[in-house]
Amino acid sequence: MAAKKKAVAKKQKTSVPGPLFDKILIANRGEIACRVIRSCKKLGIKTVAVYSEADADAQHVREADEAVFIGPPPSAQSYLMIDKIVEACRKTGAQAVHPGYGFLSEKQEFQKALAKAKIAFIGPDAHAIYAMGDKIESKKLAQKAGVSTVPGHLAAIPNADEAVKIAKKVGYPVMIKASAGGGGKGMRIAYNDAEAKEGFVSATNEAKSSFADDRVFIEKYVEEPRHIEIQLIADGHGNCVYLWERECSIQRRHQKVIEEAPSPFLDAKTRKAMGEQAVALAKAVKYKSAGTVEFIVDKNRKFYFLEMNTRLQVEHPVTELITGLDLVELMIKVAAGEKLPFQQKDVKLDGWAVEARVYAEDPFRNFLPSTGRLVKYREPTPGPDVRVDTGVYEGGEISMFYDPMIAKLCTHGKTRNEAIDRMRRALDEFYVRGVSHNVPFLAALMAHPRFRAGKLTTNFIAEEFQGGFTVAHLPPKDPAVLAAVAAVIERIRDERLGVTQDRRVVMLNRKPVELTVTGDEKLFGVDVAGREIAVETAWQPGDPLVHATVDGLHLVLQADIVGSGWRLTHEGGQAEALVLTPRQAELYALMPVKAAPDTSKFLLSPMPGLLASVAVSEGQEVKAGESLAVVEAMKMENVLRAVRDGTIKTLHAKAGDSLRVDQKIIEFA
């Protein structure tokens, strides 16, 4: 199979040459801009980056051959300014623009403006963007093309009362969706009239804020659904093929967290039917370039058209890993007028690939965005089966103005389990300090029995992590192994410093573990209460990663010096370890523990953002679950609710205020 994969890749590379571009401008930022630059360099094409004030020192600016400043940090004043992008092309002589994803990638006005300026758009033509970009119109076109669609009301809904009437007619549960939506924004599920009314208001507000288009529609919500999408590539000569599918069911708030290819759910018959329907839809709008047709699939493998994304997808690397194809390279060649260098029968499936989105967010605080400087940043060791797509670097900053993605981590294996196991180890190697990140959550997902069994739905996270993500969801740790590793690295450090102390007690999260360590150099024996643990490691002091073979099993732990001890991180979990002499352990046990301050009487801002509204007043009585305030961050509305009954004593902030993390908003009596 691997040989076939190489053959397809070679066929792509040696296709009939066309008039490729000399210089391409990337109308985007972050990891996708860096990703496009890589393919351009491979093709010998010069690149132009554009950047806002917030991105002056960004990685994509550093990697491009040229860079053009386009405005202030808000994307509406920079990355969404069509005239500035066109002017940057004129100024630099760029012959084509790759839009990446997001921003202007699905704006037909952008494609038209470039065409008028005689600049190639590396993507579909305006008519296809228009036809597929509007969720209402795209569903009508899908029906005409013979594509299976979800029942619903496809016209824009004028008000909340009408939304309730339509929801009742369609039948609960329903999904309220922004017509111009994407990325999980402007979407709400409603199970009753009250939720339909509230969902309509929230969805329209979010849609207007994110897309400057407040139209929403309603469709039947498919229960126990799986989100499976078909990757397409089409040229301007009538050729269109599908490059298998991606399973994107692991989502939080309708945003993808884990993607994989292929799907563990589809059989050959369903895969073929979905692929052929996707191609039929693409041909109906004379589509060219890379595109993705998304389907919702029920438990009986009955599938329904969801939407078509007329751009490159965030999760495209997993398709590249199982096909050996470079989608960005293909997009560039198609835009230059070349034919696809292969047919459907040439596309082979090699192994399995998994992608995890590493975000700057705090999973232990309801996934709130985290901004700030990457004080330390070290990626997993890259290789043929480990890939990291990123737009950040150590010392760089995660800005409050844009998506908080740090990187996309992808792994490949011959089987699904092999790809997952590689992902678990790669997550352990991902070393990030300075901002909170979701690696602990990703580690918990990879280890979850239901995920490993492939029993997925888009409700997976909501069902398996009810009440939020906590340390209890992390894979269990063997305290004896953690204590043994702590003792070994302390022993190695002592030897390098010429220190000889009889350290025989590890205070692991303040609990004593008695042990003895024998051996030196790289091979150690640790006796923990009569249990012999063999630890082999070439770790050197100063290295944040401890690669160790423990009783024959290879482990990777992150080791940070904290005071006189260590903070060990493994599979998302942390343990504080102090390696002490018996006398030191006796004295340590007498040390008092500082109690955390009581904040139970306050509603604190869980993130930096804008206080969009306050729904209560001083002296008002509130019930558990009642809405108290709305904080807007990263273009998402976050409703803060009362956790118990109470009375409002003092309002410490007002609508329109900018909030910092843990700033007081409301005080309860």
Is-contact 256 248, C-beta < 8 A?
A: yes
Q: What is the DSSP string of 9-71?
A: HHHHHTSPP----SEEEE---HHHHHHHHHHHHHTT-EEEEEEEGGGTT-HHHHHSSEEEEEE
* Core vs surface per residue 54-69: b (16+ CB within 10 A) or e: bbeebbbbebbebbbe
Sign of CA dihedral 140, 143, 149, 150: positive
Is-contact 70 81, C-beta < 8 A?
A: yes
Q: What is the DSSP string of 486-550?
A: HHHHHHHHHHHHT------EEEETTEEEEEEEEEETTEEEEEETTEEEEEEE---TT-SEEEEEE
**């360590």: which residue's tokens?**
517
Largest CA distance in the chain: 80
Per annotation, catalytic residue among 260, 307, 338, 355: 307
How many Å apart are CA 251 and CA 463, to the nearest integer?
Answer: 11
* Core vs surface per residue 571-586: b (16+ CB within 10 A) or e: bbbebebbbbeeebbe
DSSP state of 476: P
**């007619």: which residue's tokens?**
169
Q: Nearest-5° angle of CA 142, CA 148, CA 149?
A: 70
Is-contact 374 398, C-beta < 8 A?
A: yes
Q: Nearest-CA neighbor of 440 among 305, 341, 558? A: 558
How many Å apart are CA 532 and CA 535, to the nearest integer?
Answer: 10
Cα first-last separation, the chain: 68
The alpha carbons of the chain give a radius of gyration, in whole angstroms, of 27
Which residues, other chains included, contact 218 with Cβ-Cβ below 8 Å and sequence gap of 6+? 152, 153, 157, 163, 166, 167, 170, 174, 175, 176, 177
The residues facing 229 across adjacent strands are: 246, 294
CA atoms within 13 A on the CB side of 11: 17
Rounded (10°) angle between helices 135-144 and 126-133: 100
**């991180």: which residue's tokens?**
569
Residue 223 designated active-site: no
Q: Nearest-5° angle of CA 10, CA 12, CA 18?
A: 130
How many Å apart are CA 270 and CA 22, to the nearest integer?
Answer: 42
The length of the chain, given as a count of residues? 669
- The kind and range of the H/E element at 269 are helix 268-284
How many Å apart are CA 396 and CA 59, to the nearest integer?
Answer: 8
Catalytic residues: 307
